[in-house]
Amino acid sequence: MDAEPDDVRPGGGARVRGRRLRTLRAYAFGAAGLLLAGCASMPDHGEIRPVQASQGVDSQVRVFGVPPADKASAADIVDGFLEAMTSDDPQLETARKYLTEEAAKSWKPGSSVTVLSSGLDRVSIRGEKDPDGPRWKVTGTKLATVDERSAYQPQTGGEKYEEYLQLVQDEDKQWRISSPPNGLVLSESDFQRIYMPVNKYYFAGGTLVADPVYVRQRTDPDSRMDPTTQTVQSLLAGPSRWLGPVVESSFPTGTELREGTKSLSYDGQNTLRVPLNDKADNVAQPQCKKMATQLLYTVKDLTGSRLDQVEILRSDDKSSSLCSVTELNAAAIANRPRIPDYQYFVDDQKRLVRMKLDVTSEEQQRAEAVPGPLTTAPVFKVGSAAVTYDERRAAVVSEDGHGLYVVPLVGGGPMPQPLPVGKGSTLTAPSWDAAGDLWVADADPQHPGLWRVPGGAGTPEKVQVAGLDGGRIASLKASSDGVRIALLVEKSGRKNLYVGRIERPDAKGDASAVSVRELRPAAPQMADVTTMSWAPHGRLLVVGRESRGVQQARYMLADGSMVAASLPGAAGLSAVAAAASEDESKPKPVVAYSEDGIVYLPPGAQWRTVAVGGKAPVYPG
């Protein structure tokens, strides 16, 4: 079936839309399948044609490439190859059939993925009669890249993608590509269809840290490319380059799956058994249990199903156990944030108050003033606050933004003296990290800066932030794992969200202050960000708007990629808070500040007002 062009370009080029070229799609309904096939004829040189992406492809759709036809033109070979790259075949065997024998052997599509905002344009540079053979230029606009460790990196500024495909004739006079791209090249829609996000987990200072990556979501056990096996292989290979400097893996260098392991799966008791090579045979039990903990949280995050236990097997025996951990054991080793007792906000009397919100209860909750000096010093007016994860201390910024105080939430006594932080008069809301350090920024245009108070009681240190480029930190939120910090940076009248890596000197390193390195966009799809909060599984809940769009609230991965979940009714939200705890059995609702006051969002319902006149909602952290 030929696809008719709906947009004719000057010079004879045509744009073909809404139709995939040279693919087969399988729609699975039970054991039956429905196959649809399509093809398109195209001129062999001298014009620009875009190879379009899938449009709204259903999650049940399987896309398979079509092998090259006999005596196909150079144009058909180029189009067929570009389409075959979007196949659900993990080994891309059909795509390799468009390459020369040597190129097919050396091509490594798993080395990287280039994600484009739309399809590829391709234009002939040299025709089939050229003595040097046909050459095609393919171009597009970069949206992101995914490296060999499966880490996603958004590209900003509309950077162009450009590649040249050289064609030659084999001994049978068939055109084949001798210079394929270095990796895969996919449109955004094809990338979302083929790949899915998952967190790998590593340790930092005794706390488990999420490292987001993307893996292929189609199952192919014979090729060791099922998602579980692929994710475990990625975990063993080590953390992403961006997170690598601040985390460590418990697996010894060189640890891989035991040779011959085809796939990993659960048994009937919800136990995952993972056979490793001999690099792991001699590890001590504490280290082995940390390895098993990394595996349990990684696979559990991938599958979303119940996983009760992980068992690591020795290299020399199919059934000999090196160690195992249950979900309860792993929780103790992981040192994750505890489930908060309360949600906090500033009420209409400028007091820090707390209340218990239960998503399963319809009962209206009442706020109470927090205990401690903030109650015994009623003249103190609170502007914003942060509470430690153990809920025993609070950091509060005065209503005028001049002073930062750390006060106990147990006992009594007078208000402490303010900490010597900043020189301006516009301190942001503070934030605690898992290490017990306190973070705050001075948003005064004349004295901007990021400050850290070690342990919430030490001498404040000004933190060097690489990559601000003249921007001013308008708000911040440290992650519960203590290795990342989200910064809302205002520049040229707009606020954009970045995530930076918190680097702390080790015992052997320089004793210089902690620094924030390698800022990267955390919400590149949004033209302006209003507010944000860290959420479970290393995600960010971001409120903002896309270019010429309305305000919305969406979950973003820390790498800047967007996940599907969003919140309804985001218009009018100016502050938002999500609990960092990941205990699915005791979920905590998202809480926000709107023109109605403090509101919260029960599952499957609309926002409900719980405190008229309140502001600055926070969970511990």
What is the predicted pLDDT for the residue at 620? 96
The identity of residue 266, as a single letter, is: Y
Q: What is the pLDDT of residues 241-261, one digit of tens each?
A: 999 999 999 999 999 999 988
Angle (CA) 139 140 146, round 5°: 110
Q: Taking residues 558-570, report their average pLDDT.
A: 86
| Pairing of the two strands 590-594 and 135-146 | unpaired
Q: What is the pLDDT of residues 41-55, one digit of tens each?
A: 333 444 444 544 444
Q: What is the pLDDT of residues 58-75, one digit of tens each?
A: 445 678 889 999 999 999
Q: Taking residues 449-453, report their average pLDDT.
A: 95
Per-residue pLDDT for 327 more than 60?
A: yes
Please state the separation of Cα 596 from the chain's center in Å: 32
CB 542 within 8 A of CB 560: no
Domains of the chain: 7-194 (no CATH), 219-334 (no CATH), 343-618 (2.130.10.10)
Question: If DSSP codes are grouped into helix, strand and coil, which group holds residue 412?
Answer: coil
What is the predicted pLDDT for the residue at 361? 61
Q: Cα separation of 323 and 331, whole Å?
A: 16
Residue 299 main-chain phi, psi, to 5 deg:
-70, -35
CB 75 within 8 A of CB 44: yes
Question: How far lies 593's CA from each of 118, 250, 383, 556, 568, in Å?
Answer: 37, 41, 14, 20, 14
CB 573 within 8 A of CB 543: yes
What is the predicted pLDDT for the residue at 563? 78
Q: Is 289 left (phi over 0), alpha (psi -120 to 50) or beta?
A: alpha
Per-residue pLDDT for 557 more than 70?
A: yes
The identity of residue 7, as a single letter, is: D
Q: Taking residues 382-409, report their average pLDDT.
A: 95
Per-residue pLDDT for 10 more than 80?
A: no
Question: How far lies 105's CA from each of 108, 149, 216, in Å?
Answer: 8, 21, 21
Q: How confident is the model at residue 364 (pLDDT cuts 50, 70, 90)?
A: low
Other beta carbons less than 10 A from residue 377's beta carbon: 14
Q: Taking residues 270-298, report their average pLDDT.
A: 96
CB 380 within 8 A of CB 423: no
Q: Starting at the earlier edge strand, list the strands of the sheet with 404-408.
A: 382-387, 393-398, 404-408
Other beta carbons less than 10 A from residue 582's beta carbon: 20
Q: Taking residues 568-582, report their average pLDDT.
A: 90
Per-residue pLDDT for 9 more than 50?
A: no
Q: Taking residues 417-424, report their average pLDDT.
A: 85
Q: Both tokens of residue 392? A: 């025993």
How many residues are present in the chain? 621
What would the 3-class secondary structure string for 351-370 be? CEEEECCCCCCCCCCCCEEC
Q: Taking residues 568-595, report their average pLDDT.
A: 88
Q: Taking residues 431-458, report their average pLDDT.
A: 92
Per-residue pLDDT for 566 more than 90?
A: no
Q: What is the pLDDT of residues 118-127, one digit of tens each?
A: 888 999 998 8
Q: Cα separation of 429 and 593, whole Å?
A: 14
Angle (CA) 444 578 620, round 5°: 70
Q: What is the pLDDT of residues 488-531, one digit of tens each?
A: 999 988 999 999 999 988 644 444 679 999 999 999 989 999 99
Q: Taking residues 152-169, report their average pLDDT.
A: 91
What average pLDDT does the structure give for the chain?
A: 85
Q: What is the pLDDT of residues 596-618, one digit of tens each?
A: 899 998 877 889 898 998 999 99
Q: Cα separation of 34 and 28, whole Å?
A: 7
Bridge partners (DSSP) of residue 385 are 396
In sequence order, what E strands does 409-514 have? 431-432, 438-442, 449-453, 461-465, 472-478, 484-491, 494-503
Q: How confident is the model at residue 32 (pLDDT cuts 50, 70, 90)?
A: very low
Per-residue pLDDT for 5 more than 80?
A: no
Q: Both tokens of residue 1? A: 């079936």
Nearest to 110 by CA among 5, 237, 201: 237
Q: Cα separation of 345 and 366, whole Å?
A: 12
Q: How confident is the model at residue 220 (pLDDT cuts 50, 70, 90)?
A: low
Name, in order, each residue with C-beta under 8 angstroms of 290's C-beta and a sequence gap of 6 or more: 203, 250, 333
Q: Cα separation of 309 and 297, whole Å?
A: 10
- Confidence (pTM): 0.86
Bridge partners (DSSP) of residue 399 are none
User: Higher pLDDT residue, 275 or 506?
Assistant: 275
Please state the separation of Cα 579 from the chain's center in Å: 18
Q: Is 176 exposed, middle or buried (0-12, 13-18, 19+ CB in 10 A)?
A: buried
Name, in order, each residue with C-beta under 8 angstroms of 342's C-beta and a sequence gap of 6 or more: 354, 355, 356, 387, 391
Per-residue pLDDT for 373 more than 90?
A: yes
Q: How many CA atoms lie within 13 A of 345 on its CB side?
A: 29
What is the predicted pLDDT for the residue at 98? 97
Per-residue pLDDT for 575 more than 80?
A: yes
